[in-house]
Chains A and B, each alone.
Chain A
Amino acid sequence: MGGQLPADKTPWPIRRDRALADGTMRHTIGVVTRRFTQAKRDAYAQYPPGEEARRHALAAKREVIRRLPELLTEARQALERNGAVTYVATTADVAVERVTAILRQHQVKTVIKSKSMLTEELELNDRLQEAGVKVRETDLGEFIIQLAGEKPSHILAPAAHKNRAQIRRLFDEDARREGISPPVSEDTADLTAYARQRLRQEFLQADAGITGGNFLVAETGTVVLITNEGNADMVTTLPRILISVIGVEKLLPRWEDFQAAVTQPALSGVGRRLSSYTTLIQGPRRPGQTEGPEAWYVVLVDNGRLSLRGTPYQDALACIRCGACLNACPVFRQLGGHAYGSVYPGPIGVVETPALSQWATGSELPSVACTLCHACGEICPMGIDLPRMIVSLRTDKVKRGGVPRTQAASYRLWAQWWASPAGYRRSIRFARLGQKFYRRQGRLVGAPGFASGWFQTRTMPTVADETFHEWWQRTRERGTRHG
């Protein structure tokens, strides 16, 4: 069954051109991605145990894909031994219904959330608001885009596309609405201080907390949250109800696999050994405790993930959401995340969006959002062969008739002509004649049919007067023929 992923209905050319026109965003994204890519390189170089751990984690993630159903059962048993109530949700709808039911059961009016890409995939915030529950994003980047009514533009830094002036304006409006003092200045420190103050009361008064999960250790029933701000710790200790919403692929089999995997997101994503806070949830409040939730629910979400097993895309389930592929991708560096029109941008998003949704969403991405430079495949710490998957998706797309008929016919014709040396040479002779219409100042500036798109931003050298074979025949063979 295909997963339900939110779709951006705006056509690709508009999303692309809008992104290319946004100079502020492109500059910020360009700086941030390059900084993280360099930092990752340096961090692994200085920490040999990190590289050893990476290899162990890579193997563990493959094991998870192989044994997913059985590990899921094991994880649920361990979680339940720890005092959690667990559910498996097959689709996004089922997951949202389950979370809503839990909140209703406990008469929850206000929810605080730490960052979770999965909850964006489920469109949980919107659907909870519809059900009358007030949801507050507490991760600073998520809080900013929640105020702006936008979607995140980067897996790790959701507001990476916004600059200080824009953020200050958002906070000023927010302060007016809330009747509190606005930020003192547009300095990053003052903006952050505003957010800290603003969100503190909501932390202390919320009825329920919702988290995602970076890892779930099946052996011990431990949910792992990797953060830097301290908001996940607020969400896990202060409210009386806690719900963790976790994709089924986030499993790790044993504690030793967690020991290997724990440093990978920070090393690979931002070049640090660990994030500021690694929070492990192992149960609700024990007798005698004055903090922690009274009840802990874990909702494990499938939404298309189990169906990836046995397809060429199953290794995408090994993704640890580090963001390294985004940071290395030349397309992402130019466009930022919004242009992809998906919850998951960048190379991993190019694969997962059509694969998880079984072509319901993001079907254009493998063709339009990738130059096949292979930077993503080289940099992925979990060895996910994203380039091969993107090519495979392109092939699938053609097989499914996802390519316009004239384009498909043109490619078929080209393939026929170039299937033999004689056909190739014939096509070159045609091109040499036909290029007359497209020459300007010694360069080719156009081509017929759909190939004209190629020339909108490029020129090419003209077709040579002779091919190598023709030159060889003319100059050599005459000379070597003796008498």
Chain B
Amino acid sequence: MDDAVKDLIGRLEKAGADVFYGNSASQLTAAFSTIWEAGVNPTAEGTGRAGGWIPDPAFWHPIIEAAWPVPVERAPHDRDAITVGVTGVAWAAADTGTLALYGTDATPLWPSLLPPVHVVLVRRSQVVSSLQAGLDRLFQENCGATKPPLVKLVSGPSMTADIEGELILGVHGPKRLMVVIDGTGQAPFKGASAGCRRRRHHEPESQ
């Protein structure tokens, strides 16, 4: 496990997320079993499996299906009845523990918003060392026709300290943020759109 992934896991856990890391298909399946046994019993999922969130469905589907024998709801009528939402990420930044989700037609945001549990699938190639590097990527996306109308940077579960300054999770958004990181292989990164001109004050960090 390299430093960036270690950093990311540390930050996410500090913010109150549950993080699972696997280096093989069997380890990842075990992670999903743990999630299932921990009482996160999805009665239906969000668009995770059948939707566009996962750039490599041939990799993830068997892993999830081995642990979660539940029906997949791609565009459920009653989104509010879903108990677990599954999404991927566009990228994940290690130094701030941030998961970037772009809301597009293939990757809607409601699975990360309405259900009380949000499961996020991250592949090693999507982890960047700094928030700045991730935002550089978003800038590239913004230059092209792929500009996402809504972007959500998640750095922890829903929380508030509005009552007596005491920290409480799960106000309106998900109570539990569960992140599964796959240390193997590469997911194709939807690369930069053609020629994005920039005036820079700093150089982007390389991974």
Q: What is A's interface to B at a CB cutoff of 8 Å?
A: 28, 31-32, 35, 47, 49, 56, 82-83, 138-141, 144, 157-160, 162-164, 167, 188-189, 191-193, 195-196, 199-200, 203-204, 220, 222, 228-231, 233-234, 236-237, 254-256, 258-259, 262-263, 270, 272-292
Chain B positions near chain A (C-beta within 8 angstroms): 11, 15, 75, 80, 95-98, 103-105, 108-110, 112-113, 130-132, 135-136, 139, 142, 147-166, 168, 170-174, 198-202
Q: Which residues of B contact A259 (CB under 8 A)?
A: 131-132, 135-136
How far is A176 from B98 in the complex, measured between Cα atoms in Å? 40
Given pairs A188-B166, A283-B150, 17 additional interface contacts (CB within 8 A): A140-B160, A159-B163, A192-B168, A203-B172, A237-B110, A255-B135, A256-B200, A273-B96, A273-B131, A274-B131, A276-B173, A280-B152, A282-B142, A283-B147, A285-B149, A289-B104, A292-B149
Name B113's contact: one of A141, A233, A286 (CB within 8 Å).
A233
Residues of B within 8 A of A56 (CB): 201
Cα of A237 to Cα of B103 in the assembled complex, Å: 9
| Known interface pairs A286-B105, A289-B108; A157-B165 also in contact (CB < 8 Å) | yes
CB distance from A322 to the nearest CB of B (A): 15
- In the complex the two chains form, is B150's CB within 8 Å of A276's CB? no
B50 smallest CB distance to A (angstroms)? 14
User: Can you list 15 contacts pairing A with B, beta carbon distance less than 8 Å?
Assistant: A82-B149, A157-B161, A189-B168, A228-B158, A228-B160, A233-B113, A259-B131, A273-B131, A274-B131, A284-B149, A286-B104, A289-B108, A289-B149, A291-B108, A292-B150
For B132, the closest partner residue in chain A by CB is A259
Name the B residues within 8 Å of A282 (CB-CB).
Answer: 142, 147-151
Min CB distance A394 to B, Å, is: 33
In Å, the complex CA distance between A229 and B153 comes to 13
Contact partner, B164, options A163, A274, A291, Cβ 8 Å: A163
Choose among B11, B136, B150 the residue that contacts A236 (Cβ–Cβ < 8 A). Answer: B150
Q: Which residues of B contact A263 (CB under 8 A)?
A: 96, 131
> Which residues of the partner chain B approach A287 to less than 8 Å between Cβ atoms?
105
Q: Which B-chain residue is minimally distant from A193 (CB atoms)? A: B170
Task: Specify which chain B residues have a CB less than 8 angstroms from the CB of A204 in the assembled complex.
Answer: 80
Q: Given the complex of chains A and B, what is the CA–CA distance between A234 and B172 in angstroms?
A: 8
Known contacts A237-B150, A283-B147; decide if A291 and B96 are in contact (CB<8 Å).
no
In the complex, chain A residues whose CB is within 8 Å of the CB of B168: 188-189, 192
Query: For the complex, what is the distance from the CA of A277 to the CA of B158, rounded to whole Å?
Result: 8
Q: Which of B80, B154, B159 contacts A229 (CB 8 A)?
A: B159
Report Cα–Cα, A170/B148, bound state, in Å.
Answer: 40
Asked if A280 and B150 make an inter-chain contact with CB atoms under 8 angstroms apart, the answer reads yes
Give the CA-CA distance A32 to B164 in the complex, in Å: 8
Specify which chain A residues have a CB less than 8 angstroms from the CB of B104 in the assembled complex: 286, 289
Interface pair A277/B149, CB less than 8 Å apart: no
How many whole Å from B24's CB to the nearest CB in chain A? 31
Q: B159, A228: Cβ atoms under 8 Å?
A: yes
Determine whether the beta carbon of B162 is less than 8 Å from that of A139. yes
**How long is the Cα–Cα vector from A203 to B172 in the complex, in angstroms?**
10
Q: Is the CB of B155 within 8 A of A273?
A: yes
Q: A192-B170, A256-B201, A292-B149 are in contact. Are A278 and B155 (CB under 8 A)?
A: yes
Which chain A residues border B109 with CB–CB below 8 Å? 233, 237, 291
Chain B residues within an 8 Å CB radius of A258: 135
The 3 closest A-B pairs by CB, nearest first: A230-B173, A288-B105, A141-B162
Q: Please measure, in the bound complex, the distance between the C-alpha atom of A340 and the C-alpha atom of B164, giving whole angstroms.
A: 21
A237-B150, A273-B155, A286-B149 in contact; A229/B173 too (CB < 8 A)?
yes
- Choose from B97, B142, B153, B160 the contact partner of A278 (Cβ within 8 Å): B153
Which residues of chain B have C-beta atoms less than 8 A from A28's C-beta?
164-165
B162–A157 touching, CB < 8 Å: yes
Closest chain A residue to B163 by CB distance? Answer: A188
Question: Cβ of A164 and Cβ of B163 under 8 Å apart?
Answer: yes
Q: Quick one: closest A residue to B177, CB to CB?
A: A276
- Residue among B104, B105, B150 with the most chain A CB within 10 A? B150
Within the assembled complex, what's the spacing in Å between the Cα atoms of A383 and B202? 22
A residues less than 8 Å from B135 (CB atoms): 255, 258-259, 262
Contacts of A83 in B (CB 8 A): 149
Query: Do residues B153 and A274 form an inter-chain contact, with CB atoms below 8 A?
Result: yes
The residue that B171 contacts in the complex, of A82, A230, A283, with Cβ under 8 A, is: A230
* Chain B residues within an 8 Å CB radius of A49: 95, 130, 132
A255 touching B160 by the CB < 8 A rule?
no
CB distance from B35 to the nearest CB of A (A): 21
Contact status B151-A279, CB under 8 Å: yes
Contact residues in B for A288 (Cβ distance below 8 Å): 105
Residue numbers in B under 8 Å from A255 (CB-CB): 135, 139, 142, 198
With A204-B80, A263-B96 known as contacts, the answer to whether A233 contacts B163 (CB < 8 A) is: no
